[in-house]
Amino acid sequence: MSYLNPELHRDWKTNGYLKIPRFFSTEEVGYLHTWVSEISCWEPTSDKWMHHYESTPDGPRLSRSENFVPYHTGMKATVTRGKVLDVVSELMTEPAVLYKEKINYKYPGGGGYAAHQDAPAYEFVDYHITCLISVDSATAKSGCLYFAPGRHQEGFIALDEKGCVAPKTASVMKWIAVPTAPGDILLFGSYIPHKSPANRSEQPRRIIYLTYNAVSQGDWREKYYADKRQAFSEYAEDGSNRDKQISKIAHFQGETVNHANLH
């Protein structure tokens, strides 16, 4: 079954991202809501899922959870088979495999993300497609994504020391806000520049991000998380402050809080 008509394929090629409204039904969104809440209640671990926290006006809150798929049956089924995998494979023009997954919570007052491309943070494979699932509604006020349409065909753009698009270049790019409602998905490749503001609303803006690569490039998911864990344990020792990041690139603009300091 195809999820995309020729017009959607054209939009994808032209813009480098594609929104499909109501990809998940109201009932499915109900499940996703429950699962995101369940995962957010898991205690921090040093060897399974990863939680990241940030300071907000309401105190420390989760900013991100990742590596949860092996530990959650419902999420695992939804992201490793079925319609998300199918639509990503269709865009990839070959079968896809999960590379990484995360939930970005962006609670009220939660930080935004500087203009960046994902490719510098996603090592081992050259190209990825991410499927964003809007669990809450994301608006300009609550911190939806902004894209620079068509700029996915230029390789790395003005990559700075943070791994982001240099602010001077980003400031003259044309940015389009892409709000999403619960159940909408937004597909984007790893070279499309994007950014998002802080959440200035009173509501959480929870979004699931599922990133895939072509099966022909191999299955890198475990290696990705082992490498990230290793890198962050080195950052914690090397005095570089990079352990304050939530990714190998320094795109997150919130103020991170170490979970050891939460209680």
Ligand X SMILES: O=C(O)CCC(=O)C(=O)O
The binding site for ligand X (CB under 6 A) comprises: 104, 106, 113, 118, 143, 145, 194, 196, 207, 251
Supply the minimum distance, in Å, between the C-beta of residue 120 and ligand X: 11
Q: Which is nearer to ligand X, 7 or 202 (CB)?
A: 202
Q: Which is nearer to ligand X, 9 or 244 (CB)?
A: 244
Supply the minimum distance, in Å, between the C-beta of residue 25 and ligand X: 23
**Closest to 109 (Cα-Cα) out of 254, 250, 244, 247:** 254
Q: In the chain, what are the helix, strand and coil shares in percent, each to the nearest 5?
A: 30, 25, 45
Instruction: Give yes or no for a contact between 61 and 106, defined as CB atoms under 8 angstroms apart.
Output: no
CA–CA distances in Å: residue 8 to residues 90, 112, 130, 179, 206: 12, 28, 16, 18, 26
Which single residue brings its beta carbon nearest to ligand X?
196
Supply the minimum distance, in Å, between the C-beta of residue 143 and ligand X: 5
Q: How far apart are CA 150 and CA 153, in angstroms?
A: 7
Contact residues for 58 (Cβ-Cβ < 8 A; gap 6+): 107, 108, 109
Q: Which is nearer to ligand X, 92 or 164 (CB)?
A: 164
Residue type, 119: A
Supply the minimum distance, in Å, between the C-beta of residue 204 and ligand X: 12
